[in-house]
Amino acid sequence: MGIRFQETLYGDEVFQGFTADELLFEGATPYQKVQIFATKRWGKVLVLDGIVQTTEKDEFVYHEMLTHVPLFACAAPKRAMIVGGGDGGILREVLKHPIDHVDMVEIDRTVVDYCITHMPTLNNAGGIYKDPRVDLVIEDAFEFIKREKHKYDVIMVDSTDPVGAGEVLFSRTFYDLCRSALNPGGVLALQNGVIILQPHESRQSMQLLRDLGLKARCYGIAVPTYYGGNMMLGLASDSLAALQPDLPTLQARFTAANFSTVHYTPELHCASFVLPRWQQEITGGLA
C-alpha cells in the first residue's frame, strides 16, 4: 500500500494527501521537521512541518512565476536576493538571467543539503551554488537584511506559510526591511497563499506594503499540489510601471534573455495580473 501522507496545513480539515513509495529523508532541525518522499505521480516531494512545499512534477509553475515576473518587471536587474528557497528552484531560475550577484539566505542548511541529494533537478545537483555570482548564506534572513544593509534590484521571498520559522516573513517589520533594501525601481516578490482558503495572507501583506508607501498588487498562479485552487503571488515596488506589465516590453526582454521556460511566457506574465472580482476585492487590486 505504500506510505500514506496527509497534509496538516488546515488542522483537522485534511484536504489532501498522497501515497509514497518511500520516505527518503526525515529529520527534525532547530527550525522544522523535514521530510522528502518518493512518489510515482508527483516524483520527489518536499514536506516541511507536515505541509507540502514542492514536488518535482509541478515545481516549475511556482518557481518560474515567482522569479521571472519580478525580474522581467525590472529594466536591467543586476543584484538579487532570495529569502528562503532551500530546494534551489528559485535560484536555478534566477541564474538564467544576466544577474551580477545573488544572495540566497536560507535559515535551514538541512533543506539545502538533502534537496541536493534527493531533488537534484531543482538545483542542478547542487551546481547552482558553485556559480560565482551566488552567495549562499545560512542564516535568518530577518537578521541578515537588518545587519548587512545591502541594496537589491529584486528580492524574492520564497517562504513557507506564516507559521513557525516563516511567521516573521509576513510581518510589517520584515516588509519594511525589504523596502529599505530595494534600489529605486526595485521589485519585491512574495508568496501569499491559496486565496480561497487563506485570504488573510494576501489581504494583510498587500495592506502592509501599501502602508509602507509601496505600490502593491497580486498575480495568480495555479499549482496542483497546493490544495485550494489559485495561489496568490505578490509584487511591490516604488515604481508603478513595474506593476503594470507591458507586453511588447516583456517580449523584448524575454527575447534578449535568450533562455527557454516550461511555464512562463510574456503573455502569461500579463494575464496573471487579471484577477476575478472577488480576488481583486481581497487583494485591493492595484494600489
DSSP string, 72-89: HHSSS--EEEEEE-TTSH
Same domain, 40 and 89: no
Q: Which amino acid is at 142?
A: F
Residues whose CB is less than 8 angstroms from the CB of residue 191 and which lie 6 or more positions away in sequence, other chains included: 62, 66, 157, 158, 159, 231, 232, 233, 234
Chain mean position to CA 142: 16
Q: For residue 79, what are the CA distances in angstroms to 219, 239, 270?
A: 23, 17, 24
21 shares a domain with 94:
no
Q: What is the number of alpha carbons within 13 Å of residue 106 lying toward its C-beta?
A: 23
| Domain C-terminal end among 32, 53, 74 | 53
Query: Same domain for 238 and 261?
Result: yes
**256 and 127 in a common domain:** yes
Least confident of 79-88, 223-232, 234-243: 223-232
Question: 114 pLDDT exceeds 80?
Answer: yes
The CA dihedral of 145, 191, 18, 45, to the nearest 10 degrees, is -40
* Residues 6+ away with beta carbon under 8 Å from 189: 66, 67, 69, 70, 154, 155, 156, 157, 233, 234, 235
224/226 Cα distance (integer angstroms): 6
* pLDDT: which is higher, 104 or 169: 104
Residues 244 and 146 in one domain: yes
- Which residues on adjacent β-strands are paired with residue 5? 18
Q: How many CB atoms lie within 10 A of CB 147?
A: 9
Three-state DSSP class for residue 44: strand
Q: What is the pLDDT of residues 27-36, one digit of tens each?
A: 999 999 999 9
Q: What is the CATH number of the domain that holds 29?
A: 2.30.140.10
- Give the span between the Cα atoms of 85 and 69, in whole angstroms: 16
Q: pLDDT, tens digit, for every residue of 7-27?
A: 877 766 656 788 999 999 999
Report residue 92 as a C-alpha cell: 536555478
At residue 42, the 3 state secondary structure works out as coil
Domain extent for 183? 59-283
Selecting among 49, 108, 153, 158, the annotated active-site residue is 158
Beta-bridged to residue 186, according to DSSP, are none
32 and 143 fall within a common domain? no
The yes-or-no answer on residue 158 being catalytic is yes
Between 83-92, 135-144, 163-172, 266-275, the lowest mean confidence (pLDDT) is in 163-172
Give the pLDDT mean for 251-262: 97
